[in-house]
């Protein structure tokens, strides 16, 4: 028998205009956590989708438990003991937790001549697997009653229920709290002890160095190398990922904050459990970071300012003039832009082209005679932004959902740049983006501030807030609890304000 449970050799996968995998490879040993790393667009998820049968390889082979196999689809993969927890969740919120765990493979029983779902067995089995992964959920409860992070944990339970020998975790902690991450690591350790081979995809260096046994790095669809995790450093991994050294994770601060231009006073949600009496200001050319723990209502406050959530009292003032914002259209007309937290759900229009996604918020600027779109002007707008923001795409007609996360985020920034807004609200602008693309996004943000734009940036990464912000506003339980100058900010004084409950 081979020392490897599963091998992928010489894998090639091409999409229209893009060679996603160029003779990539991977070797998994039993009872190990194998980290798969690379920038967005390196081919990590594509390689895993080939392993799981979502994509069919153009070239290459899969050797599973010593035999060459052809994985015809996800159900075939599951039947062989290969399970995958995807980065982008696809829950069925109106169905129960148990039904979501066993969707596509429900236990059945005979009811006379008719085969029906054995709900009793399904819920009993679901309760057992939830207990196995330390989740205290009622399997009969609607999945939609859970938070996004809890749904992610249910997805992991779903994978475990398949009694898998190979488990692929694609960005499993992107929506999890610190406590939930610890719970996940406990599950991973238990599965590793049982001999499961785990592929772990993440951009979080501390997680990789803590949880993995081996690390494989990919770049531009190609295999770069595999190393024992013990002894690796963050600098080494980054250099191999991006093909060059990054001497600094954050660009130099060249912006000079000026006078106060944007003010919010006593802003209070219609929901009594959400934000209340929020008061703050932003200066011209300033990056105001917004910190807080899960449940601090940072996103809700910003969505309220952008007209996505109703408020009962409070004022928004720009350059001394009070703004009336009841819906996003009002905010856009007032020169405010918002990059939302979940680019898949509330940002990109996945099946539309890059050109459509860039121009959608400013179509009235590209009308001929008020009725027809000027495709030539839109194409110039897209090409200007592709060049300015270094967006990697075959053409402006490419569907945005085929791009990497970092390039999708750049397209969304381009959407708002087309409107030339004065105030940018950026909610988790680098979530799920690799270190190289992060730096590019940071440079864009820094350049906007240098041009005099006012930036409000929510981030759950303290190092990002400290590295990018001129000031940091901290929230706890719907309230603004304090402000810290960027050069005086550290994890301790941010956490002190972030846990300042009434």
Domain 248-335+421-502 belongs to what topology?
Rossmann fold (3.40.50)
Would you give per-residue pLDDT tens digits along the chain (502 residues)?
Answer: 568 999 999 999 987 667 889 999 999 999 999 999 887 678 888 999 999 999 999 999 999 999 999 999 998 998 899 999 887 667 788 899 999 888 878 888 888 888 888 889 999 989 998 888 888 899 999 988 887 778 878 888 888 888 889 999 988 877 677 777 888 898 899 999 999 999 999 877 888 889 999 999 998 889 999 999 998 988 888 888 877 655 567 888 889 999 999 999 999 999 988 999 999 999 999 999 999 887 789 999 999 999 999 999 999 999 999 999 999 999 999 999 998 887 777 788 878 888 888 888 777 777 777 778 888 888 888 888 888 777 888 788 888 888 877 788 888 888 888 888 899 999 988 877 767 778 888 998 999 999 999 999 999 888 889 999 999 999 998 999 999 999 999 888 898 898 887 7
Q: How many CB atoms lie within 10 A of CB 32?
A: 17
Assigned architecture for domain 6-242: 3-Layer(aba) Sandwich (3.40)
Are the C-beta atoms of 453 and 476 separated by less than 8 Å?
Answer: no
Residue 499: phi and psi, rounded to 5, are -115, 25
Task: Give start-end residues of each CATH 3.40.50.300 domain in the chain.
Answer: 6-242, 248-335+421-502
If you count them, how many residues does the chain have? 502
Residue by residue, DSSP assigns 325-357 as -SSHHHHHHTTEEEE-S-HHHHT--TTSBHHHH
Q: What is the rounded distance in angstroms from the CA atom of residue 65 to the CA atom of residue 467?
A: 47
Q: How many CB atoms lie within 10 A of CB 367?
A: 12
Express each pLDDT in 253-294 by its tens digit. 889 999 999 999 999 999 988 999 999 999 999 999 999 887
Q: What is the rounded distance in angstroms from the CA atom of residue 312 to the CA atom of residue 310?
A: 7
Q: What is the SS3 assignment for 352?
A: coil
Which tokens sit at 157? Answer: 């339970």
Q: What is the rounded distance in angstroms from the CA atom of residue 64 to the CA atom of residue 250?
A: 43
Are the C-beta atoms of 348 and 407 separated by less than 8 Å?
Answer: no
Which tokens sit at 487? Answer: 């050069």
């Amino acid at each position: 028998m081979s020392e490897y449970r599963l091998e992928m050799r010489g894998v090639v996968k091409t999409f229209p205009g893009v060679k996603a995998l160029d003779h990539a490879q991977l070797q998994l040993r039993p009872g190990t956590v194998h980290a798969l790393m690379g920038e967005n667009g390196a081919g990590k998820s594509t390689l895993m989708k080939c392993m799981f049968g979502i994509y069919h390889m153009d070239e290459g082979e899969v050797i599973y438990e010593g035999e060459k196999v052809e994985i015809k689809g996800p159900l075939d993969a599951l039947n062989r003991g290969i399970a995958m927890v995807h980065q982008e969740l696809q829950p069925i919120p109106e169905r129960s937790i148990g039904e979501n765990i066993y969707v596509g493979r429900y236990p059945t029983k005979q009811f006379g001549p008719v085969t029906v779902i054995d709900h009793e067995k399904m819920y009993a089995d679901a309760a057992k697997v939830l207990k196995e992964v330390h989740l205290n959920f009622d399997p009969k409860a609607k999945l939609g009653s859970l938070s996004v992070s809890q749904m992610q944990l249910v997805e992991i339970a779903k994978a475990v229920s398949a009694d898998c020998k190979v488990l692929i975790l694609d960005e499993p902690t992107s929506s999890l709290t610190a406590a939930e991450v610890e719970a996940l690591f406990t599950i991973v350790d238990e599965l590793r002890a049982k001999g499961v081979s785990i592929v772990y995809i993440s951009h979080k260096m501390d997680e990789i160095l803590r949880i993995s046994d081996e690390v494989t790095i990919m770049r531009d669809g190609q295999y770069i190398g595999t190393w024992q995790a013990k002894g690796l450093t963050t600098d080494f991994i980054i250099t191999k990922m991006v093909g060059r050294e990054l001497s600094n994770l954050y660009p130099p601060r060249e912006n000079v904050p000026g006078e106060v231009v944007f003010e919010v006073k006593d802003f209070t949600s219609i929901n009594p459990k959400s934000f209340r009496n929020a008061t703050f200001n932003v200066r011209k050319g300033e990056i105001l970071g917004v910190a807080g723990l899960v449940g601090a209502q940072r996103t809700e406050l910003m969505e309220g300012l952008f007209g996505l959530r109703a408020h009962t009292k409070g004022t928004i003032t720009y350059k001394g003039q009070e703004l009336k914002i009841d819906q996003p259209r009002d905010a856009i007309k007032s020169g405010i832009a918002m990059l939302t937290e979940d680019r898949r759900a509330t940002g990109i229009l996945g099946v539309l082209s890059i050109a459509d996604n860039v121009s959608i918020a400013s179509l009235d600027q590209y009308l001929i005679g008020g009725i027809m779109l000027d495709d030539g002007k839109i194409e110039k707008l897209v090409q200007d932004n592709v060049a300015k923001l270094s967006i990697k795409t075959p053409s402006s007609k490419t569907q945005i959902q085929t791009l990497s996360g970092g390039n999708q985020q750049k397209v969304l920034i381009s959407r708002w740049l087309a409107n030339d807004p004065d105030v940018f609200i950026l909610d988790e602008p680098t979530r799920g983006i690799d270190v190289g693309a992060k730096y590019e996004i940071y440079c864009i943000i820094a350049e906007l501030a240098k041009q005099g734009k006012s930036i409000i940036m929510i981030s759950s990464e303290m190092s990002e807030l400290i590295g990018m912000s001129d000031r940091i506003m901290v929230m706890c339980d719907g309230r603004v609890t304090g402000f810290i100058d960027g050069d005086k900010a550290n994890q301790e004084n941010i956490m002190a304000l972030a846990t300042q409950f009434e």
